[in-house]
Amino acid sequence: MKRLSRSFFERPPQVVAEKLIGSILIHKTDRGLIAGKIVETEAYGDMNDLASHARFGKTARTKIMYGHPGILYIYKIYGIFSMANIICEARGKAGAVLLRSIEVTEGKDIAIKNLKKSRFAKANQFIATGPGKLALAFTINSNFNSLDLITSDTIYLVWGEKPSDIIRTNRIGVDYAKYCKDFPWRFYAKNNQFVSKK
DNA sequence: ACATGGATTCGCT
DNA sequence: GCGAATCCATGTT
């Protein structure tokens, strides 16, 4: 299993977001291994992207988006969910890819327990469909912020089979972003049941 | 120091 | 289609 390199992420987020579809995320937790195929992503840009946290430039929160490509950017939304992003672009330029949905292939039992421990008593086979559930399922929380996916031995990405058809469309939940809401920066595997929304 | 609202999800209407 | 859950960075006073 070949791991993704630093240079893989040292490119614009729109490129990385598309190429990440089909890759495998692996997390070796203390309760066991959780793994799955990335089936849905979104790209977020710099100051020119009104949907991106970096739209205000470099702040305490967003300085990480200007850092090392390949590290995690985790933030909390609505006081409830953690969002898992991977930093893109060379140092000094802001960019990130949001992991939206994963088809879990290993450690489903652990992932389901993780969901049931939180607010999802009725957790079913759709374990990591949508960014909030994805982080819960993979035991990813704010403590993982700035963790390096390239060098970590516990959480990392490996190459997987790329789906034959990838749909490119506009992003979810960014209606406030004026003209940027229509940027076609969301990618997902066609006909995959684990994609969060059609 | 305070007010605002969000890269979400589910359940009820 | 809409409200609740409920944290915290950001922008404003």
The reply to whether A173 Cβ lies less than 7 angstroms from strand B is: yes
pLDDT value of residue A196: 95
Is any atom of nucleic acid chain B found less than 7 Å from the CB of residue A72?
no
Q: Which nucleotides of strand C lie within 7 A of protein CB? A: 5-11
**pLDDT at residue A198, as a whole number:** 67
- Smallest CA–C1' distance to B9, residue: A132
In angstroms, the CA A170 to CA A101 distance is 16
Give the pLDDT confidence score for residue A147 in this predicted structure. 97
Q: Mean pLDDT by 10-residue block, N- to C-terminus, for chain A (198 residues)?
A: 97 98 97 98 97 96 97 97 97 97 97 93 92 97 97 98 96 95 97 91
Question: pTM for the complete prediction?
Answer: 0.96
Alpha-carbon dihedral angle through residues A135, A142, A19, A194, given to the nearest 10 degrees: 10
Nucleotides of B under 7 A from a protein CB: 5-11
pLDDT reported for residue A1: 87
Whether A47 sits with its Cβ under 7 A from any strand B atom: the answer reads: no
Residues 6+ positions from A12 with CB-CB distance below 8 Å: A43, A45, A88, A89, A95
Q: Which of A175, A135, A134, A151 minimizes the C-alpha distance to A69?
A: A151
Collapsed DSSP state (helix, strand, coil) of residue A171:
coil
Antiparallel, parallel or unpaired: β A32-44 and A186-189: antiparallel
DSSP H helical ranges for chain A: 6-9, 13-20, 108-117, 131-137
Q: Is the CB of A76 under 7 A from strand C?
A: yes
Could you tell me how many helices (H) and strands (E) chain A has, helices first?
Answer: 4, 8
Q: Which residues are paired to A99 by β-bridges?
A: A41
Is the shortest CB-to-strand distance from A80 to strand C under 7 Å? Answer: yes
